[in-house]
Structure 1
């Protein structure tokens, strides 16, 4: 819908003055009124000319005044139709001209007794509506002076009765009364409109602020009807449920169909609002989500507000609190543990040099060395948790970065690059990702080391397959690290990211936990991909590149 624009350089209107747009609309209505009046006056001349010839004082001047008044109003209407926006001085000049023209027509017709005197009241009233200030009082004063002057002139020169002077005085009183009343009413209306406009602007600004807050919340928010149709969804809800980009949050078409677990949870809640919905996964690689329902309107109950929480955040916070306490404890006793641990390791080395050891003694020494290294590794990993630095993300292209990582990783391997086989598959046109390069490389090193070790145990050679592709929504990139080992038992898949959980007797159980922690710090998600392929596959799904960390 087209609207009249106001220049940005225009000063703000005062609380008791109409805005430029209001003035333009009111003046356009007033000009339509003037056109109608001038056409009626011209029509009366054409309908009954003989009657006018006998009654009017200066008929030729009256006819010229009516024709000129009509021409002026037609001209003003045409230039306004062409886009002209009258300023305040143009409006003031028009009102003054109307008052003078009307009194000129009174002067050339039958005097103050003519019905045209009533039209002067309309012009004074219009002037006070368009400019409710001291200028409006000047309109009334000018009209009163002109009416009294015409009556006095007729009384002195033409011998008209003195009653016309009394009538002119009464009209003057009406002019001032109309001016004062309309000024008061106009000012009250302008103040009310200014207050309403100010409140509307404040409400609009508050709505924008609320919208920005809702869209930037990490908690997903949905507004549903009783049939499960989505009426509103913020960016976090779209990302948690369907992986849609944050830039498309204004278009809820991505979520027209709710995930089946969420739909079942809604039906359960509608039957029993006191029952809590169990956490669910919208997809195998997505985190567990917890939803809560509430009525948006308690009286009508037409809409339902849904809060979606990422359970991995809650679990992560609980684990962080546990490991933070453990980290502080470990930092305090690390020195006390490492001293006797170093003495044990050194004593084991000295015993190994003795020529009087049999095979059983060597096996015992090997157990001592392995478990000493494991204890030292646990201490190092827990200390790393307590002193981990914040992420420093950069926007990177996944393809070149993954190729560079593969080359650097193969060069740092103890065995030759020919014995370690790491195949690489990169899809074209991958979206960039925002992450801390050193932290994600640490995650990749951990996953690759584990994968090569398990592949060596299963197929007799260290072998991996790295794959970079785009998610189903086409907005985010993920990287798969697939090994060729024995895989993970179904009963253990839900525990692989828990701290101190390991299937390797020599492992500390903190590697995958640390890897997921680093991914979460970069707003990426590390998950275990369950499929029918051999071995084990871990997937790093990066956040949308437009999402700031």
Structure 2
């Protein structure tokens, strides 16, 4: 299936993209001397219909009172038997063809030779070369040169000329006929060869044209397939829609960004999401104004849509390009944090040395027995902020040293069960392990990710969730839920806590670096978690939750997509 209709197909010029097209001349040379099997079969069918009609006419004339001819028939009994035999052979061949039998080149050649010989037999047994049946031989020779335009075609003409001259010579030498019949037979021979040469030339030209057309058609088909592969694998969403926002066609990236599902969809009644419909209306009002970025779903990233008319002459269709802004934002933040990481790496020892001295001095002062209570609180503040500064340095250094994801195909059911056990054993919130409820869907597709990096992400989410749940309910409890998206091709994991939740005004900033509402936090935890998810082609989002607490969702890429 093409991404775009034929009249709106993306331009695919042969001279601009033809990496795998073959040389048309080479294809022509290889096929110029051979007819297409299907075409040869159809031509032979047509020729056999013609032979049946001729044989029926000849057979019908046997039942008509003979007309007084200038030259009587030589062998009327043989002539009648020849006509009936010719009719029987043609009917038998027709039955074979109707039964689906496809004759090869040898059988076609044998059939044409039999045809030429039979007609000459009818000439010899009737009135000789002067009979009008001689004209039928020209048609047989012509058909032979169309069906097999090679040296065999010349052989048909030579055989017909020899047979005609033989019949004329026999009539002159044995039957005492006029010598002019030999001249007539020679003229017929010239016609045979002329028809053969002319039709072979015409047929070869037609075959070369057909081969060239086939070669170009194959090149166009190959280019269309290349375009389809490129368009479907692009991470930029491409949508064709009408003026009212009804989607005609969309590639895989657009399906994923707009509807959260992959693959080709056949629902012709779909319309653009509300956010894009507003952008389309704004663009139609002012085509020079670029629509604002938007988010169509909670679990989808921010996108930027660009609208253009598909064809200046066809204003009913609009082409929409959809860019994933999270990629651009991620690259900008990576550049910023990479610079910050290099700066931090350069001055880490300069900061850590005095920081270590401050922390060590505070510890020594705490161990002194004559410290006032107010001073003790000040020392605790010094220790807490020293640890926070050290944590910020460690996190920024981790960003600059982050390794590339080593993805593998993972059975989420088993992996989540193992993670839950390991986390419960290692966790300790006020002396009690975290209570994690694991809810798994019946049908859970596999996911592809780096297990160590994804473990780091879940550990961060569980740490935050357990801490906030304990602050509100005095119990460190969580729910980890795993399921599949609507298309059934992608898995997701939800981590839900029972804390106070995140205020609405802060929800859009939770993934920004150094943003935190916890005085003791660094503001890099959730940012690092989203960065690790993006490195594994997954997406981390904060869902609108009607229940208490927060719910973070990790949506994985389709398991067949390689990182």
- Judge same fold: TM > 0.5, yes or no: yes
Post-superposition Cα deviations, 1:230-249, rounded to whole Å, max 9, x if no partner, equal 22111111111112233xx1
CA offset at residue 280 of structure 1?
1.6
- Show the 5 A alignment for 1:489-500: 489-500=503-514
Q: Does 1:455 align with 2:484?
A: no
1:28 to 38, 42, 45: 45
1:292-322 alpha-carbon deviations (Å, 9 max, x no partner): 1112212223322111111111111111111
SS at match of 1:296: strand
- Once the two structures are TM-superposed, the CA of residue 542 in structure 1 deviates from its matched residue by 1.9
Aligned residues: 535
CA contact (8 A) 1:52 1:59 kept: no
Could you tell me how far 1:184 is from its partner in structure 2? 0.7
C-alpha separation in 2, matches of 1:138 and 1:425: 83
Q: Does 1:502 align with 2:516?
A: yes
Please, which of 205, 217, 220 is the counterpart of residue 203 of structure 1?
220
Query: Residue in 2 aligned with 1:175?
Result: 192
Q: Which residue of 2 aligns with 1:240?
A: 257
Q: Deviations over 1:76-98 (max 9, x none)?
A: 11122222221111111111111
Give me the whole-angstrom Cα distance separating, in 2, the residues matched to 1:383 and 1:47.
109
**Paired position in structure 2 for 1:337:** 351
Match of residue 291, structure 1, among 294, 305, 329:
305
Choose the corresponding residue for 1:221, options 195, 214, 238: 238
Q: State the partner residue of 2:444.
A: 430
User: In the alignment, what sits opposite 2:9?
Assistant: none
CA distance in 1, matches of 2:242, 2:457: 43
Cα contact 1:448–1:481 (8 A) shared by 2? yes
Q: Which residue is 2:414 aligned to?
A: 400
SS at 2:404's partner residue?
coil
Gaps of 5+ in 2: 1-28
Q: TM-score scaled to structure 1, two decimals?
A: 0.93
Query: Which runs of no fewer than 5 residues in structure 1 stay unpaired?
Result: 1-11
Deviation at 1:176, TM superposition (A): 1.2
Q: CA RMSD in A?
A: 2.0
2:55 to 38, 50, 54: 38
Mapped to 2, the partners of 1:350 and 1:157 lie a distance apart of: 142
In structure 1, the residue matched to 2:387 is: 373
Equivalences for residues 450-489 of structure 1 within 5 A: 450-489=464-503
Cα deviations across residues 179-202 of structure 1 (Å, max 9, x unaligned)? 111111100000000011111111
Distance 1:417 1:544, change over 3 A: farther
CA pair 157-61 structure 1, distance change in 2 beyond 3 A: same
1:409 deviates by 0.5
CA distance in 2, matches of 1:352, 1:416: 23
Normalised by the length of structure 2, the TM-score is: 0.91
Q: d(CA) in 1 for partners of 2:463 and 2:514?
A: 18
Counterpart in 2 of 1:62? 79
- Where relative contact order (Cα < 8 A, 6+ residues apart) is larger, the structure is 2
Check the 8 A contact 1:220/1:307 in 2, yes or no.
Answer: yes
Structure 1 partner of 2:103: 86
Alpha-carbon distance in structure 1 between the residues aligned to 2:141 and 2:327? 71
Decide which of 542, 545, 558 is 1:531's aligned counterpart. Answer: 545
SS state of the match for residue 92, structure 1?
helix
SS at match of 1:425: strand
C-alpha distance in 2, partners of 1:229/1:216? 23
Question: Relative to structure 1, is the Cα distance of residues 300 and 505 closer, same or farther in structure 2, using a 3 angstrom cutoff?
Answer: same
Counterpart in 1 of 2:150?
133
**Counterparts in 2 of 1:271-290, with a 5 A limit?**
271-290=285-304
Distance in structure 2 (CA, Å) of the matches to 1:366 and 1:260: 53
Shift of residue 53, structure 1, vs aligned partner: 12
8 Å CA contact 2:493–2:554 kept in 1: the answer is yes
Q: Distance in 1 between matches of 2:345 and 2:202?
A: 78
State the SS of the aligned residue for 1:55: coil
Q: Secondary structure at the match of 2:502?
A: coil
- SS in structure 2 opposite 1:252? coil
Residues 403-455 of structure 1: per-residue CA shift (max 9 Å, x gap): 22111101001347855322232232222222222111111100111111122
- Among 262, 281, 296, the residue aligned to 1:267: 281
